[in-house]
Structure 1
Amino acid sequence: MSEQSALSSEELDFLRQLFSSQLIGKPLHIPSFKVDGGALANALLSRLGRHAQLSLQARMDNYSMSFPLQLVEDEMHSLQLEMGAPSIYEEGAIRRPWRLVLDTPWVLQDQDGAETGLLVHEVAPDSLLIGSHADAALPDNFSLWLPLPGLEPMPVKARRIRASTGQRAAYSLLLRHSEHSERIRQFIFEQYRQQNPQLQAVS
């Protein structure tokens, strides 16, 4: 794809509707679209949906988004295309997942809901940047609960992968269910929309 490619006005309108602020803070919603490309095209899409990972790619400024797609066949053999929350990447010399920097750190909880001494300063779909109260030593691994605002805390396991600045360390996340990963991506996506008003729907 050419680096000079640009979105058409129709594609921009679609993305603005998708990023509508009316969806922010609501329970996870899976947009779906009817697919009707004719018998041959639908058959090809069905085979791709069974044997390949489908996605919708969008790029704006120095960021790109990859929306996972899933094809679902209903009882009438019609195809529905379901779109999940995207992974957001920062493009540059090194392409890396966009991290949400938290104004107020989240405090990780134990299984009883009690706060621990570990603080989440940044969150990405598959990693966390962790600090601690009073600069206490950070563990190599932990199994705790992540308190996503407005949602039930979710269990997470994490493994320390590298030290960072200011007595902090990056941890790789191990999640029990794909739904948990989707919830984190959806939360990050909502925060990204709030920080990018040009993506909000025009009323």
Structure 2
Amino acid sequence: MPRNALLTQDELEFIQNMQHNPQLNVRDASSSLTVNGGAQIRDLLTRLAAHDHLTIQAQFDNQQLTFPLHLVEDEFHAVHLRLGVPSIYEDGPMIRPWRLVLETPVALENIKGNPGSLWVREVSFKGVLVEARGRVKPPKTFSLWFSPSGYERIALRGSFERETARGLFAYRLSQGNAEETERLRQFILHQHRLVHPEVHA
């Protein structure tokens, strides 16, 4: 190679291998969003997403998925709209968050990973339905960890709402950390895919 070459032969081969590696050239289709319809529509959506809460809604059977739209800047400083993890709702006498009924209840854990007396029976992105084991009075609030099998544990903060006719306790979730909220939504979305594969096919 000439002395004034910008790249060595090894560097050039490395770059060529990267260009031809199919796994490195795959885009994340689940989160990207291309908007067709002219510059005016793109500009309007971008302005709305920058200043307000913008969503896309999908309706099917008795359920709806609401996807938040976020503005993201790429490495070239171009701004794009990206889909966030959806909130899933059920239609009925009133619209409510979709609840995942757990086949096996999961104990809420303390910071050290020790199970407590509250066991999650149903979970949504807004609340949990728990049973209290060991004749323990349910607390007014809790800040514990939800550790479903096969998933990284998720911090939950709940406030007591009511006791149900079945003797279970409903808690409203108030996630203080956006990352924990996102992880809970991811878990629920993954479970929704397993329960309703026809929707996600």
Shorter-chain TM-score: what band? 0.7 to 0.9
- Secondary structure at the counterpart of residue 162 of structure 1: strand
Q: Name the SS of the counterpart of 1:104 in structure 2.
A: strand
Match of 2:114 in 1: 114
Task: Show the 5 A alignment for 1:40-79.
Answer: 40-74=40-74, 76=76, 78-79=78-79
The 2-side partners of 1:43 and 1:77 are apart by 16
Q: In the alignment, which residue of structure 2 is the partner of 1:133?
A: 133
TM-score (norm 1): 0.76
Residues in 2 aligned to 1:135 and 1:168: alpha-carbon distance in whole angstroms:
12
Q: After superposition, where does 1:181-200 map in structure 2 within 5 Å?
A: 181-200=181-200
- Give the TM-score taking structure 2 as reference length: 0.77
**Larger gyration radius, structure 1 or structure 2:** 2
Q: Is the 2:46–2:81 Cα contact (8 Å) retained in structure 1? A: no
3-state SS in 1 of match to 2:180: helix
SS in 2 for 1:33: coil
User: 2: CA distance between counterparts of 1:75 and 1:144?
Assistant: 38
CA distance in 2, matches of 1:166, 1:135: 15
Quick check: 1:157–1:174 contact (8 Å CA) kept in 2? yes
| 1:179 alignment partner in structure 2 | 179
Which residue identity lines up with residue 116 of structure 1 in the other structure?
G
Deviation at 1:159, TM superposition (A): 0.9
Q: Aligned with 1:32: secondary structure?
A: coil
- How far did residue 76 of structure 1 move? 4.1
Contact 2:146 2:156 in 1 (8 A): yes
**Any stretches of 5+ residues in structure 1 without a counterpart?**
1-28
Question: CA-to-partner distance for each residue in 1:24-48, whole Å, 9 max, x for gaps?
Answer: xxxxx96113446544333322211
8 Å contact 1:30–1:82 — kept in the other structure? no
8 Å CA contact 1:35, 1:80 repeated in 2:
no
Contact 2:119 2:133 (C-alpha < 8 Å) held by counterparts: yes
Aligned partner of 2:85 in structure 1 is 85
CA RMSD of aligned residues (A): 2.1
Write out aligned runs for 1:24-43 (5 A).
Answer: 31-35=31-35, 37-43=37-43
**Bigger relative contact order, structure 1 or 2 (CA pairs below 8 A, ≥6 apart):** 1
Q: State the identity as a percent.
A: 40
The Cα of 1:141 is off from its aligned counterpart by 1.4
CA distance in 2 between partners of 1:61 and 1:82 (Å): 26
CA distance in 1, matches of 2:161, 2:44: 41
Q: Aligned-pair distance for 1:84? A: 1.5
Segments of structure 2 that go 5 or more residues without pairing to the other structure are 1-28
